[in-house]
Amino acid sequence: MAITLSIANQKGGVGKTTTAVNLSAALKALKKRVLLVDIDPQGNATMGCGVDKHTMENSICELLLGECNIHKAIIHVDDSGIDVLGSNTDLIAAEVALLRGKNSEFKLKNAINSVASDYDYVIIDCPPSLNMLTINAFTASNGIIIPMQCEYYALEGLSALMKTIEKIKQTTNPTLEITGLVRTMYDARTKLSNEVSLQLQQYFSHKVFKTIVPRNVKLAEAPSFGKDSISYARSSKGAISYISLASEVLRKTSIN
């Protein structure tokens, strides 16, 4: 059965989608079967994989509304080899419907369970807010990976996310855990980055991934070509860092 990991941070602009896309591609490069689920109405992870969010016949919106099954919504990406369950702004309508439905927080979990034997990992790119979509993602997940930009407000945003995780554990998913925190968009030349990095290690110790994702031009360029960094520039520092992160994820989640 697949291990499902949500990539989440209630603070925007921390490299969340970049991590979801590139971790998925890196796990595939390490010979794992991967499904990337985009549950953010912005659809950036969808586009970043090379899937046109405007022309999808079926997306996660139709899936959550019960208008199609997950098999009809999954799209295979040739470049990376991963499968994608795409998203676009139609998902906002699905969120409204979920708010009115009974047991709607389990919709995504039930859909993923129906294909869990087809994958080793399911990676979910969450929206940067707490809403019914995020609740669906956390309810469906075994663990959460939190991208952290080492800046002034980083720990404040993390505190809010921790409270959300505790609420989910008390209601829909008692076994939910934080898989790890990953430092992203890291600039070792700045004193602040180093100070915040040390704070994270001090407070969260073994939960902080050893891999640090640097600021990298190739990571920033890749989405404009509809590619992950490994397909776009495998030897770049960004791509190498996500291969390293994927190796850590494998060790932490005990899939060999």
Q: For 81-111, write each residue's pLDDT tens digit.
A: 999 999 999 999 888 888 888 889 999 999 9
Tell me the pLDDT band of 217, cut-offs 50, 70 and 90: very high
pLDDT of residue 103: 87
Write the DSSP symbol of residue 60: H
Looking at the chain, the whole-number percentage of residues with pLDDT higher than 90 is 73
The amino acid sitting at 47 is M
The mean per-residue pLDDT over the stretch 229-245 comes to 95
Tell me the pLDDT band of 116, cut-offs 50, 70 and 90: very high
pLDDT of residue 81: 93
**DSSP of 179-242:** EEEEEEEE-TTSHHHHHHHHHHHHHHGGGEEEEEEEP-HHHHHGGGGT--HHHH-TTSHHHHHH
Pairing, β 121-125 against β 3-7: parallel
The mean per-residue pLDDT over the stretch 175-203 comes to 86
- With a cut of 60, say whether residue 256 has pLDDT above it: no
- With a cut of 80, say whether residue 156 has pLDDT above it: no
pLDDT of residue 255: 54
The mean per-residue pLDDT over the stretch 30-39 comes to 97
From CA 76, how far away is CA 71, in angstroms rounded?
A: 11
Write the DSSP symbol of residue 116: G
The amino acid sitting at 246 is A
Contacts of 93 (CB under 8 A, 6+ apart): 61, 65
The mean per-residue pLDDT over the stretch 41-63 comes to 95
Q: Is this model's pTM higher than 0.85 or not?
A: yes
pLDDT of residue 150: 77
